[in-house]
Chain A
Amino acid sequence: MSKKIQSKRRDFLFTVTYTIGAVGVGAAIWPLIDQMNPGSSVKALATTEVDVSSVEVGKTIIVLWRGKPIFIRRRTKEEIEEASAVDLKDLKDPEKDEDRAKDPEWLVMVGVCTHLGCVPLGEKGEYNGWFCPCHGSHYDTSGRVRKGPAPNNLEIPKYEFINNNIIKIG
């Protein structure tokens, strides 16, 4: 065998070895990284059912879902009108009110400010919705961000009405 062929053979073997080695190291490291993701016991708690029959018009209840507060607000007529009357051009994160509240009377949102995760205070702020005390974000009566550093509207979780009284979140 000439020297040239030999060195090509060597290069090939080195490349293959490095590649397989890198895959092996990656495979060994992945469990060490993935262990930090939510575990089975955490994922198992992914749905919550809430009885909302006792909530009056103009009241909000807060329940915990996946360790996060969920705002369930039974909105007043004025609030619904105010929310649907907003021009989408005025919104930082444009969303129609009817897309956010399936049943306009019930607004179900994750009560976590989309800025840095504080819990906004209800019926406060310049738009009669929510106000985050941490860094001053204002949300309207549909939970849409109107002012302040938050980039998005308050998140709407996956939920459904099982019957007239019970909402299943998750």
Chain B
Amino acid sequence: MSEEKYIPNSKIGQWFDSRLPLLTLSAHLREYPTPRNLNYWWTFGGILTFFLITQIVTGVILAMYYVAHSDLAFESIEHIMRDINYGWLIRYVHANGSSMFFLAVYIHIFRTLYYGSYKSPREVIWITGLIIYLFMMVTAFTGYVLPWGQMSFWAATVITNLFSAIPLIGENITEWLWGGYSVGNPTLNRFYSLHYLFPFLIFGLVILHIWALHVPGNNNPVGIDVKKNNNETVSFHPFIVMKDLFALLVFLIIFFIFVFFAPNVLGHPDNYIVANPLVTPTHIVPEWYLLPFYAILRAIPSKLGGVIFMFASIFILMLLPWLDTSKVRSATFRPLYKKFFWILVVTVILLGYLGAKPPEGIYLILARIATIYYFVHFLIILPLLGRYEKTSPLPLSISDPVLNKPDIVDKFKKIVGEYEGENVDSFK
């Protein structure tokens, strides 16, 4: 935010802005002061926005051809793939787009964990973000059911049956979700309706998420508060916009490698078999981005317990700002937290791997250990670290860690000297 109030240049602009201050909003977004030390881990918010819009655009197009009926859904997808001009491209972008969306959101979340961005005063940003993540899972799940293949059908069956674990009213809830006595046409129809609704709810939540971000401003890799008006910030446009665009391009290269060269590698071949309520595929697994939770579900040897732990593994994150009591945000200055952070990353990836394996033998034992560790990390390690960890001294400003290296000025002089070939002492 620039300190002076924004006034549009043109008369008509002033007339409009005094009635609906869209131009002021746009000026705020352009001039929004951003810490100048943001690294590339901070570009994933922009990437996520891009993917949300891509999913909505491709999804609206797919909805023009898709038929939400249990007899016709599977064929309508094949119709899109074979007959509609560029239908294959639009569907593959939509299907792989969801995977990339989740990949980006996981990086975004782990960045938040590493740099402690969820801490005061940014708790509400963190919580709105987690609600977006939950809504993303609902959207991805309902979307995955729509092709009405074997994996769609059995994913819908298994996930809706999670609610049957609730004592007394569980059965009623599942029948209510299904609109019948099993997953069937009513289920498909309502999932389609919800799959269309939720992305727009996410869009609304993203606005709240960004709004909440713009109140305190961005955290940064050093994790100390940025001093405003002290040359420590740059305006969002063009500096951050350009950096975000570059990161987006690199990310899109990976995305389009999937879309054009391996469009089905993240899916399951069984989903090209039309849904059959009499036969469960021998090896059913959810999409990769839900595997860690699936592993937790199966690790608990009780139906209700598994469901409770699975939901708890997500909701525990909501309490994170209060479980992590350390005042230091960035892991850069928390030598122990940094190690535990990476152990957590490994644990979550391990859970994802185990979620794709059959729940027996060594896989089951490892899944149990990893599940326990996951909860220990948040409930025991973080509160203890907040109390006992000896953190490194924080720098005085965000530019300190760069400028305070002993030989940095000499290095800089040398580089500049090579270009200029003359005295550069005046720099200091």
Please list the residues of chain A having a beta carbon within 8 angstroms of any beta carbon in chain B: 33, 36-39, 42, 62, 64, 66-69, 112, 114-119, 121, 132-136, 149-151
Contacts and interface: CB of A to CB of B under 8 A. Distances in A.
Given A36-B190, A118-B284, A42 B179 contact: yes
Nearest to B304: A151
Nearest to B300: A149
Given A134-B158, A136-B359, A68 B179 contact: no
Contact of A38 (B160, B181, B277, B360): B181
Nearest to A63: B278
A151 B277 contact: no
Nearest to B183: A67
B154 A118 contact: yes
Contacts of B177: 36
Contacts of B304: 151
B426 to A, nearest CB: 72
Contacts of A118: 154, 157-158, 280, 284
24 contacts: A36-B176, A36-B177, A36-B179, A37-B175, A37-B179, A38-B180, A38-B181, A39-B179, A66-B182, A67-B182, A67-B277, A69-B277, A115-B161, A116-B158, A116-B161, A116-B164, A117-B157, A119-B278, A119-B279, A133-B280, A133-B284, A134-B158, A134-B280, A149-B298
A36 B172 CA distance: 11
Interface string B155-171: 00110111010000000
B176 A68 contact: no
Nearest to B305: A149
A133 B158 CA distance: 12
B358 A136 contact: yes
A88 to B, nearest CB: 21
A116 B176 CA distance: 16
Contacts of A62: 278
B277 A64 contact: yes
B396 to A, nearest CB: 55
Nearest to A152: B303
Contacts of B284: 118, 133-134
Contacts of B157: 116-118
Most B Cβ at <10 Å: residue of A33, A37, A64: A37
Given A68-B181, A132-B280, A133-B284, 7 more contacts: A37-B179, A66-B180, A69-B277, A112-B182, A116-B303, A119-B278, A133-B280
A36 B178 CA distance: 8
B8 interface: no
Contact of B283 (A37, A38, A121, A133): A133
Contacts of B386: none
Contacts of A66: 180-182
A38 B175 contact: yes
Given A117-B157, A133-B283, A136-B358, A149 B302 contact: yes
B301 interface: yes
A84 to B, nearest CB: 27
Contacts of A114: 303
Interface in B289-337: 298, 300-304, 306
Contacts of B184: 42, 67
Contacts of A121: 282
Contacts of B306: 149
B186 A39 contact: yes
Contacts of A136: 358-360
A117 B158 contact: yes
Q: Which 9 A-B pairs have the closest CB atoms?
A: A67-B182, A66-B181, A117-B161, A118-B280, A116-B161, A116-B158, A119-B280, A117-B157, A42-B180
A42 B283 contact: no
A38 B178 CA distance: 8
Contacts of B283: 133
B277 to A, nearest CB: 6
Given A64-B277, A136-B360, A149-B298, A115 B180 contact: no
Contacts of B162: 116
Interface string B393-404: 000000000000
Contacts of A39: 179, 186
